[in-house]
């Protein structure tokens, strides 16, 4: 097997919604109240119900030289077009040898958090449904076979949430983005039966619950003086606490076919978490009353929880401590962790020691099975390899673009950029966003 023979399906990428994303999908009775973009100085700002967002680009720095990664985009003209234009996105995927992509939202929040806080629930539900329709019809269906569609649901009404899952699943959507800890947003715990109608709808329709890092509790900045590198280092593993919470949650007994994904969570830390979970059960279940029906916590994880990696040599050397049928690959385009336009090369560096059948599982077969995604039926397998896709994209310019601009983090030469520098940059941008 060679690099050109790889078939890469990414289960974690991101779309920057284009300015007109909601316009044609919002119901007539809410026309004029749909999320929209306004120009504020040199900034493009998303506004919904008179509330403006902060960074509309949110780390969408793909295509820049790494020295300019810290400049957060403030407008569409400061981002690579593939971040928000569907034709250019597909070209960028092909140039990177990537066949398929599951794209999380940006403006709504990775799990649609911004739609869960407005007092007018009717307009919020309309915005969620408009987003889902844009994402499916204007984004994913614009390039058949290239995307795994994903939906959002309302958290305040489980009957409406289940209905939305049913509506979208009938159209071929088998992924749902949800906070890994809704309780932090003021909603019931995942241990509450409040969520059961949603779990049932997902189980019945083979919909994977995708929990992206940062949607429950963000990785903590140790201090304002800490180099930002420390925070970036801990981001993937920040979801470990939630992973433990989900292992002990009750939905797996009620809905044994249910699946979830720890999106952008990486895999190297998973073996120890499972070892510790099994240790905890053996040592403490006599007094904690935990009951896995004769199974161990690791058995629950292996059956129900999908993991993913960008570059993770340690994890790939320790697959025997995981369920390799539930491990998938990701690109994270267009964020600063992404490996575009050299994803095949970086993936291969970690995969090449593995048997071909295992490589195929991790790069595409597991994702295709778990997300009910079959690009081969549409495109033909021979057209889905790294080599075939790159041959179609020789016209795509992949050289770094210099000087795109954006927010300035205030770095001083020779001084590490700190968490305080980045927080101050965001606070300044939030203040400038006020309408």
Q: What mean pLDDT, rounded, does the chain reach? A: 95
State how far the Cα of 107 lies from the Cα of 52, in Å rounded to an integer: 10
Contact 107, 46 (CB under 8 A): yes
- End-to-end CA gap in the chain: 56
CB contact set of 350 (below 8 Å; sequence gap of 6+): 309, 311, 312, 313, 316
Cα dist. 94→29, 38, 276, 383 in Å? 40, 32, 41, 11
Identify the pLDDT of residue 414: 81
Q: What domain count does the chain have?
A: 1
C-alpha span between 210 and 172 (Å, rounded): 16
pLDDT given at position 432: 67
CATH number of the domain where residue 358 is located = 3.20.20.140
Q: Which residues are 36's β-sheet partners?
A: 47
**pLDDT score recorded for residue 433:** 64
Looking at per-residue pLDDT, the higher value among 413 and 36 belongs to 36
Q: Residue 218 — pLDDT band, cuts 50, 70, 90?
A: confident
Whole-angstrom Cα distance, residue 53 to residue 66?
Answer: 26
Strands (E), 244-362: 260-263, 305-309, 327-329
C-alpha neighbours within 13 Å on the C-beta side of residue 153: 32
Instruction: Output the pTM of the full model.
Output: 0.97
Q: Are 384 and 392 in contact (CB under 8 A)?
A: no
Which range scores top for mean pLDDT: 46-60, 225-239, 355-369? 355-369
CA angle 260, 253, 171 (to 5 degrees): 45
Please report which confidence band the pLDDT of residue 219 belongs to, taking 50, 70 and 90 as the band edges.
Answer: confident
Q: What integer pLDDT is reported at residue 278 of this predicted model?
A: 98
Cα separation, 178 vs 67, in Å, equals 33
Reply yes or no on whether the pLDDT at 435 is more than 60: no
Query: What residue numbers bound the domain in which 278 lies?
Result: 3-433
Query: Quick one: pLDDT at residue 401?
Result: 94
Average pLDDT over residues 130-136: 98
| Residue 410 in this model has a pLDDT that exceeds 80 | no
Neighbours of 29 (CB within 10 A): 10
Give the total residue count for the chain: 435
Angle between helices 196-204 and 158-169 (to 10 degrees): 10
Q: Indicate if the pLDDT at residue 310 is higher than 70.
A: yes
CA–CA gap between residue 24 and residue 10 (Å, rounded): 29
Cα–Cα distance list, 276 to 146, 273, 283, 297, 398 (Å): 38, 5, 10, 9, 44
Q: What is the mean pLDDT of residues 167-192?
A: 97
């Amino acid at each position: 097997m060679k690099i050109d023979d790889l078939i890469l399906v990414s289960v974690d990428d991101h779309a920057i919604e284009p300015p007109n994303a909601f316009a044609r999908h919002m119901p007539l009775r809410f026309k004029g109240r749909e999320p929209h973009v306004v120009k504020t100085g040199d900034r493009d700002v998303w506004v919904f119900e008179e509330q403006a967002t902060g960074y509309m680009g949110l780390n969408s720095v793909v295509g820049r030289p790494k020295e300019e990664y810290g400049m957060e985009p403030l407008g569409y003209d400061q981002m690579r077009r593939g971040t928000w234009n569907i034709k250019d996105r597909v070209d960028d995927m092909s140039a990177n040898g990537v066949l398929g992509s599951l794209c999380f939202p940006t403006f709504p929040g990775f799990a649609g958090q911004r739609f869960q806080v407005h007092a007018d629930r009717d307009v919020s539900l309309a915005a969620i449904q408009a987003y889902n329709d844009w994402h499916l019809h204007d984004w994913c269906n614009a390039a058949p076979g290239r995307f795994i569609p994903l939906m959002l649901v309302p958290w305040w009404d489980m009957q409406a949430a289940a209905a939305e899952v049913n509506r979208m699943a009938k159209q071929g959507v088998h992924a749902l983005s949800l906070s890994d800890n809704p309780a932090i947003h003021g909603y019931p715990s995942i241990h509450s039966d409040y969520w059961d109608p949603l779990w049932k709808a997902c189980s019945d329709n083979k919909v994977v619950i995708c929990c992206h890092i940062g949607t429950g509790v963000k990785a903590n900045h140790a201090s304002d003086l800490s180099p930002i590198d420390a925070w970036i280092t801990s981001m993937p593993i920040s979801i470990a606490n939630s992973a433990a919470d989900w292992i002990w949650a009750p939905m797996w007994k009620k809905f044994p076919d249910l699946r979830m994904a720890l999106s952008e969570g990486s895999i190297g830390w998973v073996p120890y978490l499972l070892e510790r979970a099994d240790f905890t059960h053996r040592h403490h279940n006599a007094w904690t009353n935990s009951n896995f029906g004769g199974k161990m916590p690791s058995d629950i994880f292996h059956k129900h929880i999908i993991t993913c990696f960008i570059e993770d040599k340690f994890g790939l050397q320790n697959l025997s401590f995981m369920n390799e049928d539930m491990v998938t690959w990701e690109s994270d385009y267009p964020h600063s962790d992404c490996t575009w336009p050299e994803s095949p090369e970086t993936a291969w560096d970690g995969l090449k020691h593995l048997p071909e059948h295992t490589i195929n599982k991790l790069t595409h077969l597991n994702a295709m099975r778990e997300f009910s995604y079959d690009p081969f039926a549409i495109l033909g397998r021979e057209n889905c390899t790294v080599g075939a896709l790159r041959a179609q994209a020789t016209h795509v310019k992949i050289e770094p673009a210099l000087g795109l601009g954006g927010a300035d983090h205030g770095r001083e030469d020779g001084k590490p950029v700190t968490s305080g520098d980045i927080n101050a940059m965001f606070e300044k941008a939030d203040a400038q966003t006020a309408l």
